[in-house]
Structure 1
Amino acid sequence: MRPASEACGSTWARSYDYTARELVRPRSVEDVRDLVRREPRLRALGSRHSFTDLADTPGVLVSLDGLEESPSLVGDVVRVPGGMRYGELAAWLQDHGRALPNLASLPHISVAGAVATGTHGSGVGNGSLATSVTALEIVDGRGDLVRLSAGEPDFPGAVVGVGALGIVTHLELLTSPTYQVTQTVHEGLAYADLREHLTEILGAAYSVSIFTRWANEPETTGARSSGELARPLAPSEGVTARSADGSVARVWAKSRSTTPEIPGTVLATRPHHVIPGLDPAPCTEQLGVPGPWHERLPHFRLDFQPSVGAELQSEYLVPLDRAQEAVDAVRSLADRVRPLLEVSEIRAVAADELWLSPAYGADTVALHFTWKADPAGVRELLPDLEERLPAGTRPHWGKLFATEDPGAEFPRWDDFRDLVHRFDPDRRFWNAWLDRVLG
């Protein structure tokens, strides 16, 4: 039976309206195969957490959240339907005494979509979410179901596949025994300390995020709801500590052992939102209270709207040995960045061997930008920002970037394009985003 269709809608942050003819939700892998054989143009749609036309198509959008299947464990490996969200998978794993090594800031994202775009969490020893994948099943451009496992030649090219090879119906992820994490927030980090001790700070705990607005004034921290417009807070509502040059940052440390010491900071004594001034209720528990891994590694709780909601995002991954240079580059544009910015986040991501991963072949530092919903302003800024970032910088595929030649920084770029041709010879999964990016 043909799956029911519906309107396509927009991305979660309302940053892009899909132009596809229709959206369908197949109930089985056979439904997916039938769709691919029947439709000349189609594209997998994850949880709508990309910010561009990455997942769009002139044909049919295919959402896998209707697949009627639960995860299953065989030894240390969990088999997951691609449309499942990480927050739901994590809770299921916790109930079965298992865990993943890392989670992204948002547990709301789908497993297949997050893996396909190289989405990551944080930690100098932690790879992106894609590095947990041991096998995946893809319906290719011929409608065939193809299984790829670690060790096979095409596997490292297919994992971070940006939806170009087909529709990923299932993934298998390596798990570990469950573990506890505590989360603490460290306030008042000066820019000088951030720059001088950046690598040390990023390695101070199991997972570390540095939040800043590249400000030259104290950041306000009073509570307002995420739906309320930003406003200056009165002095009585509280400000963070101020550094010698006025720059302010916070460090969010997620630890599996003792609370780390962060140079030049003090421990927060009340919960915070990652964006100064917003109500902290949507964020995971802080103040050093131990809890299961899946309730501490993300910044946000699954049952709340994450971040601001109406926003844009960009992110660039820079080789770790050029991190100070990258921080200086952003700092040099701070007067243009700040008016457009909700908050910026700095994290570490360990190297991997996945061809289109932004962390391919090198330990990296990720510079993330949550922008206000000002598309024109952000698009005007990005070329200048990217020009100042050091050589070796790579974009996050699911977010906004300006470069017209991202392949120059990916050694296996041409190999990936050959892989796309083999998996999708009739370009059923091709779209405008791939045309711009892959050429």
Structure 2
Amino acid sequence: MADNITRSVLLSGLCACGLLFYGCYSVGMFGPVFKNVWGTEIVEPEFYANPSAIEELIEIVIAAEDAGKRVRMTGSGHSPSDIAVTKEVLLYPPLLTGPLELDNSQLRNPNLPNIARVKSGTSLRDLNTYFEGIGMAFPNLGGWDEQTIAGAVMTATHGSGLDYGPIESTVLSMQVVSNGGEVLQIEPTQGITNPHRFSGFLPENPDIPVRLIQDDETFQAMKVSIGSMGIVYSYILQLEPAFWINENRTLTTWSNITSSDGFLTRLVEGRPLNPGGTEPDYYELQVNPYPTVQSPEHHSSQRSDYNVLLTQRWKSYSPLPVDRQRAVQGSEILQAIAVAFQPVVEGAINLAPQIASSTIDTALRTQVDDSYTNISHRVFNIGLINRTEVYAIEIAFTLDDIIPAMERQFELVASLKTRNIVQSAPVAIRFVKPSDAHIAMMEGRATAMMELINLQGLYGVDTYFQQHQQVMFTEFDSRPHWGLDLNYFQGEDMPRNVYPRWDDWRRLYNQFNAKGTFNGKVTDRLGISVADTVDNAKNHHVIN
């Protein structure tokens, strides 16, 4: 009898949310099938729900826990890893979006400026539009904006510039549906909420109790918890007043930026980047890993070097003129051609691997621009080229390691090229301020992120990534991006070796995943799944 009731509750809870198919979902033989945009993760969950309110999240978590089932919340499907998936109860958030009421009277500082409360499933793109309309902005962003805010926070997604942390650093407070469907509000020890003024209930539904936890360790563990410590309902974010950016992109060389007085050397050594000029707020590199013969006008004699596109950006809180076009005339057309005719490009490179280097050089040269100005989020977004069907991984290095790591990458692509296995896109290098989140890739150290991208249809693309993962993770003290990863970590020893606070995170993970309700493929792979859920599912047989 109890088993039938449990099954009924779970089914009614999921049906109440609506079986709606969005984005990465399609209908399989037995129900909805989730496939990420990379095609690397495909699952047909037992139950799929599209919740629109916290009441539904609570009901689903309670029913799943009673039935011994796992619950995961996916995002926009932009992670190639298994971080967001389960074969049991899978939630998708396109209805869990938009701004929420924020009761400033409950804050320590009721006049705290530039803050907003938003639902966890809202995309960065929609948030950018909303924030622009109310005169606010994220302090920094990556090059793509279709991720959900929860997906970006949970995986420590980032922009570039050592004065700025990953997106999780903007989180002031978060509300999470936890064990038993309890709603928790998690903040630092001296969080923004005044505990003496805290109502103890959800602003949009005073019938739902909320327990306030103000504790640094819990907050640091929960922010970047790879979706395994509860289902996030909302965030309060610390933003900035709206600002504009002037962007400069110049073509240079690896030997230039790594010389004793070069840009990258100065950055690594903590010296001014533009002596006598204005220091950039944001900066990043794109590198062609294949050497190119440099023309005499740049050097006293011809020699091989690696071309580099150096991007520098300066922010302005005063409006700047908005440019209609970025980079040289026709660059957007070239991007559109690359996306529309990707199979043709892949076929040409497979037939003539030697053209890979010139293809990358063309990509760098068409982005050169002395000045491009726009509202901040439009500059951060790199545009249509994001639509290309690629595989990608991103690796976090200590700042001191980025030059030797990049030069090791030169050696690796040269070796692979002898086997006709080539790279088709520039290597992107971005820089991120240290994070206090236990398992953020930037935890405890200034970080250089290396992103490796390759077209999906190229010969030997699997070998390309396997070789890079093996070399970069064994020869350097590096960490894989939780979202941009091809499931490299296997077992718990691997993350423990590179995250000094792993065991602190693990203790809190066990506490906030007490019955294994928030296990998933990623926790199985890491060998940390709490066993109760699996055991309960085997014993109860409540859902077939």
Q: TM-score, normalised by structure 2?
A: 0.68
**Match for residue 140 of structure 1 among 166, 172, 178:** 178
The question of 1:413 aligning with 2:474 is answered no
1:43 is aligned to 72
CA separation of 1:87 and 1:389: change in aligned 2, threshold 3 A? farther
Which is further off, 111-120 or 47-56?
A: 47-56
Contact persistence 2:250–2:368 (CA under 8 A): no
Q: 1:156 aligns with which of 206, 214, 220?
A: 220
Aligned residue runs from structure 1 range 347-366, under 5 A: 347-366=430-449
In structure 2, how many angstroms separate the alpha carbons of the residues matched to 1:438 and 1:276? Answer: 43
Structure 2 residue corresponding to 1:64, chosen from 75, 93, 97? 93
Indicate the larger mover: 155-164 or 371-380: 371-380
- Report the equivalent of 1:190: 253
1:369-426 per-residue CA deviation (whole Å, 9 max, x = no partner) reads 11222663245313432256422x1110012252431221111101111111111111
Q: Which amino acid aligns with 1:4?
A: G
Matched to 2:144, the amino acid is: L
Q: CA deviation at 1:100?
A: 1.4
- Measured against aligned partners, the alpha-carbon deviations of 1:308-367 in whole angstroms (never above 9, x if no partner) come to 432111111111122222222212212227714433100110112110111111101111
* Contact 1:182/1:286 (<8 A) preserved: no
CA distance, structure 2, for counterparts of residue 389 and residue 23 of structure 1:
41
For the residue of structure 2 that corresponds to 1:181, the secondary structure is: strand
User: 2:164 matched to 1:89?
Assistant: no
Distance across 2 between alignment mates of 1:329 and 1:355 = 28
Q: Does 1:289 align with 2:372?
A: yes
1:33-432 → structure 2 map (5 Å cutoff): 33-39=58-64, 40-67=69-96, 69-71=98-100, 75-151=113-189, 152-153=215-216, 154-187=218-251, 189-196=252-259, 197=262, 198-200=264-266, 205-217=280-292, 244-256=303-315, 269-270=328-329, 272=331, 278=338, 287-300=370-383, 304=384, 306-335=385-414, 336=416, 339-373=422-456, 376-387=462-473, 389-391=475-477, 393-401=478-486, 402-404=488-490, 405-432=494-521
Contact 2:405 2:472 (8 Å CA) reproduced: no
Offset at residue 191 of structure 1 (A): 2.0
**Partners of 2:40 and 2:284 in 1: CA distance:** 25
Give the distance between the partners of 2:337 and 2:97, measured in 1 at CA: 41
User: Match of 2:43, SS?
Assistant: coil
Distance 1:339 1:34 in 2: 50
Counterparts of 1:31 and 1:85, CA distance in 2:
20
Q: Give SS of 2:312's match.
A: strand
Question: Between Structure 1 and Structure 2, how many residues are aligned?
Answer: 402
CA distance 1:373–1:78, shift in 2 (3 Å): same
Tell me if structure 2 keeps the 8 A contact 1:190–1:245: no
Coordinate RMSD, CA, aligned: 3.0
| CA apart distance, 1:201 | 6.3
Return the structure number with greater helix share.
2
Deviations 1:196-237 (A, max 9, x none): 331446856222221123012379xxxxxxxxxxxxxxxxxx
Q: Which amino acid aligns with 1:104?
A: G
- Structure 2 unaligned spans of 5+: 1-12, 22-31, 105-112, 190-214, 274-278, 317-325, 340-362, 529-544
The separation in 1 between residues aligned to 2:163 and 2:527, in whole angstroms, is 30
Within 2, Cα distance between the matches of 1:68 and 1:409?
Answer: 35
Structure 1 unmatched ranges of 5 or more:
220-240, 258-266
Q: Report the AA paired with residue 18 of structure 2.
A: A
Candidates 24, 32, 35, aligned match of 2:57: 32
Partner AA of 1:209 in structure 2: E
The aligned residue for residue 108 of structure 2 is none
Whole-Å Cα distance in 2 between the matches of residues 71 and 60 of structure 1?
26
How far residue 3 of structure 1 moved from its aligned partner, in angstroms, is 1.3
2-side partners of 1:213 and 1:108: how far apart? 27
Between the aligned residues of both structures, percent identity stands at 20
Shift in alpha-carbon separation, 1:162–1:362, aligned structure 2, 3 A: same
The structure number with the bigger radius of gyration is: 2
CA contact (8 A) 1:315 1:369 kept: yes
Name the CA distance, whole Å, in 1 between partners of 2:522 and 2:97.
30
Q: Which runs of 4+ in 1 moved over 3 A?
A: 71-75, 199-204, 241-244, 267-280, 283-287
- 1:93-151 per-residue CA deviation (whole Å, 9 max, x = no partner) reads 11111111111110111100010001100002111111111111111132111110123
Instruction: Label 1:53 to 1:291 Cα distance change in 2 as closer, same or farther (>3 A).
Output: same
SS at match of 1:377: helix
Distance in 2 between the 1:132 and 1:71 partners?
Answer: 17
The 3 A distance-change label for structure 1 pair 308 and 246 is farther
Q: Report if the CA contact (8 A) 2:175-2:185 is conserved.
A: yes
CA contact (8 A) 2:253 2:305 kept: yes
Provide the secondary structure at the position in 1 that maps to 2:150.
helix
Q: Equivalents in 2 of 1:71, 1:298: separation in Å? A: 25
Matched-pair contact (CA < 8 Å) for 2:73–2:90: yes
SS in 2 for 1:358: coil
Q: Which residue of 2 aligns with 1:229?
A: none
Displacement of 1:31 in angstroms is: 0.0
User: Deviations along 1:159-182, whole A, 9 cap, x unmatched?
Assistant: 011001011111111011111101
Alpha carbons 1:23, 1:62 under 8 Å: kept: yes
Mapped pair 1:3 → 2:78: no
